A and B are shown apart, each in its own frame.
Chain A
């Protein structure tokens, strides 16, 4: 047992938590923005996957990591807009449309990779590189903190900046104000002259962009290639974090970080003498437990924060 504690308290483990939590954080904030705009973005996972694939392919063929990352984020943004259009223009159920987009992303990315590279598994044959890491000057001399923060990917830094950014966006800006009003009470927003659809499109585009950043991180930061279905359901776990966090930016931040920590723990325990089958269930068991806790708390309080975060 002491070896487990040693592992968990090591700076290497904390650094791993930050790294592993990155896609959860970004995708969860993407989910949060969409949910608060009144359209559930259940397509987070597919948006991540598309971004990861596009990013690796474009970077590999163009030789520009920056161009790859931008294309990846742009793809996910377009998928966010597509979901909004399906919901708002065609009146599709956001859940059904989201499932469709996820299936499209899973099949589409595999198809694209196979067509271009003749490889059914991924883009390992393509040299695409990864996004740069960031080390604040002098930070490596600070004990623990230095070791934890040094050499983290730039997207990890962005992921941690996303929490204050989203909180600022929601509660300080006019756009965030309108977004929350639209998501909670669209009729009220419309009756004071707010362009409800425009706000929802913008929100879903931002949601897709954040999921895109998460996806780009997977294929261009975490590793430097795309693997078929490499999101492994992270988009759905992020969605769980959105609700577990009570639809509040800092709550979502803590929930996503918690899921990241659980997965990091599973990875670390894998190196010890614990059955790997058991260990690999930790993130999922934690998701279930967390959602049960969320439902229980909500029932007790008798009131959800946004009354009408409709689907």
Chain B
């Protein structure tokens, strides 16, 4: 089925590959890259460094403007994924390419279905999938619908898809972004097994710790160019980060111990029921002024709903929320803001900003109706402009002009606009949800410093994140949500490891109620 490969030489290679888009953006510049068979090669770089574009060219989704792509030792013209697949290249995309209503087996065989004369043989599909899963150690349930299985299983399904197409080169685009530490370890074990069977793996990531763990060699990209390739054994996270950003930079956060004062956020018995079931169950916790409390958990365990309830976007179906003693029940979103809440939503494209409005307008949407920006209901353009200039400067938002629409900004700069708006309002409680998702290291570091600074100025910060490294780096205390319940509370995060938190995220371990509610005044009575 696969077209012949040359006897030796690299499994995949790029020679002088450049990609210039129609709008003039040069995403990849004269990249030379060779990956020998049977190697796990990590490709790292900041967002926009060109690693995804390069991978898309290996998979036929983009065509190089100059230079050539080699697969199996020979130059190839890849007109689309179909020709890449025929040459034995498989790719697991960051946002998984699965059909939700199809079963695992149906997704695995999609495009190369077993069966004769235009018909699909469902039994053969299940058998093939089960056999591939068995051989590779990627455990799946072939008959389960994809939208009903875990993210980890979906990802294994994607890899099986590539195996079913007899892939000899596997491109994994940020595969661990959605996995728990345990799932990541399982994935790495499977990837190593595939490598030992002769598979060439390209592993795209910006989590340097994982890159160090899984790869044989690391290629670093910056601003479209390949900066260099080093043996993983010779690299440190620090040296890789320096190569990525072009200067020495560490992600360690300088953080003095928190000096919490009085309770700012007081949550008791918070419950939330949706038509499809109970989403949050009797949450009891406090966040004090001057501390960062992290919320860990696998995505979809109630974190989003918790954030939206606290921000006033959803109404809880049980329990109480107090901000500095003010009961927020019955307050609308504006009321919540007046009570002192700042909110950085997890999905900045949907809830964070009005994408087609200018930076200046986005920076005032929560305060445009009062002095100094408006007088008697009429906006003051000069004040608006001055306000925007000041925040753009303070928060290092990279833009030529405050009138640029937010849509035109990079992920990191878009997020800076939102963070600038929320923090400059001087919130008593900041709810920060997935603050650094999809932003580059430079912006990430900036966000971290700002969150710690807000804490030191006396704000209570509730930090919700899928990134455990981030939570452990920033949180003074850590809560873990599982199935909408608080299952763990760590009042001291020093020495806490990702692995240990992962056990609580998966429900392997759980704190007892006394520990969860220790020192809380008047915890909610457990429902009978």
Q: Which residues of A contact B (CB under 8 A)?
A: 172-175, 177-178, 180-181, 184-185, 187-194, 299-303, 305-307
Q: Once the chains bind, are A177 and B275 in contact (CB under 8 Å)?
A: no
- Measured in the bound complex, the distance between the Cα atoms of B113 and A175 in whole Å is 11
Show 29 residue pairs from A and B whose CB-CB distance is below 8 angstroms, ordered by the A residue: A172-B120, A174-B113, A174-B115, A174-B119, A177-B106, A181-B102, A181-B110, A185-B97, A185-B99, A188-B97, A188-B98, A189-B110, A189-B111, A190-B80, A190-B81, A191-B91, A191-B93, A192-B85, A192-B97, A192-B110, A192-B111, A192-B161, A193-B80, A193-B85, A301-B276, A302-B274, A306-B101, A307-B100, A307-B101
- Measured in the bound complex, the distance between the Cα atoms of B473 and A83 in whole Å is 55
- Measured in the bound complex, the distance between the Cα atoms of B116 and A172 in whole Å is 11
Chain B residues near A300 (CB-CB < 8 A): 275
From A301, which residue of chain B is reached at the shortest CB distance?
B276
- Measured in the bound complex, the distance between the Cα atoms of B115 and A306 in whole Å is 25
In the assembled complex, B118 has its CB within 8 A of some CB on chain A: yes
Chain B residues near A181 (CB-CB < 8 A): 99, 102, 110
Chain A residues near B61 (CB-CB < 8 A): 191
From B92, which residue of chain A is reached at the shortest CB distance?
A191
Interface centre among A172, A173, A188, A189 (most CB of B within 10 A): A188
Of B97, B119, B147, B165, the residue contacting A172 (CB under 8 A) is: B119
> Min CB distance, A198 to chain B, in Å?
12
> Min CB distance, B283 to chain A, in Å?
22
Please name 18 further chain A to chain B contacts, defined as beta carbons within 8 Å, in addition to the given A180-B99, A189-B99, A302-B275, sorted by A numbering.
Answer: A172-B120, A174-B113, A174-B119, A177-B113, A181-B110, A185-B97, A188-B107, A188-B110, A189-B111, A190-B80, A190-B81, A191-B93, A193-B80, A193-B81, A302-B274, A303-B147, A305-B101, A307-B147
Task: Rank and list the top 5 A-B pairs by shortest CB-CB distance, nearest first.
Answer: A193-B82, A192-B111, A188-B97, A302-B276, A191-B97
From A195, which residue of chain B is reached at the shortest CB distance?
B82
Q: Which residues of B contact A (CB under 8 A)?
A: 61, 80-82, 85, 91, 93, 97-102, 106-107, 110-113, 115, 118-120, 147, 161, 165, 274-276
> Min CB distance, A308 to chain B, in Å?
8
Of B81, B118, B119, B147, the residue contacting A191 (CB under 8 A) is: B81
From B106, which residue of chain A is reached at the shortest CB distance?
A177
Q: Once the chains bind, are B99 and A175 in contact (CB under 8 Å)?
A: no
> Min CB distance, A184 to chain B, in Å?
5
- Measured in the bound complex, the distance between the Cα atoms of B52 and A212 in whole Å is 46
> Min CB distance, A98 to chain B, in Å?
25
Chain A residues near B81 (CB-CB < 8 A): 190-193
- Measured in the bound complex, the distance between the Cα atoms of B102 and A307 in whole Å is 11
Q: Once the chains bind, are A184 and B101 in contact (CB under 8 Å)?
A: yes
> Min CB distance, A48 to chain B, in Å?
29
Q: Once the chains bind, are B111 and A194 in contact (CB under 8 Å)?
A: yes
From A168, which residue of chain B is reached at the shortest CB distance?
B119
> Min CB distance, A305 to chain B, in Å?
6
- Measured in the bound complex, the distance between the Cα atoms of B81 and A187 in whole Å is 11
Chain A residues near B147 (CB-CB < 8 A): 303, 307
- Measured in the bound complex, the distance between the Cα atoms of B81 and A174 in whole Å is 19
Chain B residues near A177 (CB-CB < 8 A): 106, 110, 113, 120
- Measured in the bound complex, the distance between the Cα atoms of B186 and A38 in whole Å is 36
> Min CB distance, B278 to chain A, in Å?
13
Chain B residues near A185 (CB-CB < 8 A): 97-100
- Measured in the bound complex, the distance between the Cα atoms of B93 and A300 in whole Å is 32
From A175, which residue of chain B is reached at the shortest CB distance?
B118
From A192, which residue of chain B is reached at the shortest CB distance?
B111
Q: Once the chains bind, are A173 and B98 in contact (CB under 8 Å)?
A: no
Chain A residues near B113 (CB-CB < 8 A): 174, 177
Interface centre among B97, B98, B115, B161 (most CB of A within 10 A): B97
- Measured in the bound complex, the distance between the Cα atoms of B91 and A191 in whole Å is 9
- Measured in the bound complex, the distance between the Cα atoms of B118 and A175 in whole Å is 7
From B277, which residue of chain A is reached at the shortest CB distance?
A302
> Min CB distance, B86 to chain A, in Å?
8
Interface centre among A172, A193, A194, A302 (most CB of B within 10 A): A193
Interface centre among A172, A173, A191 (most CB of B within 10 A): A191
- Measured in the bound complex, the distance between the Cα atoms of B111 and A187 in whole Å is 13
Of A175, A184, A189, A194, the residue contacting B100 (CB under 8 A) is: A184
Chain A residues near B91 (CB-CB < 8 A): 191
- Measured in the bound complex, the distance between the Cα atoms of B100 and A192 in whole Å is 15
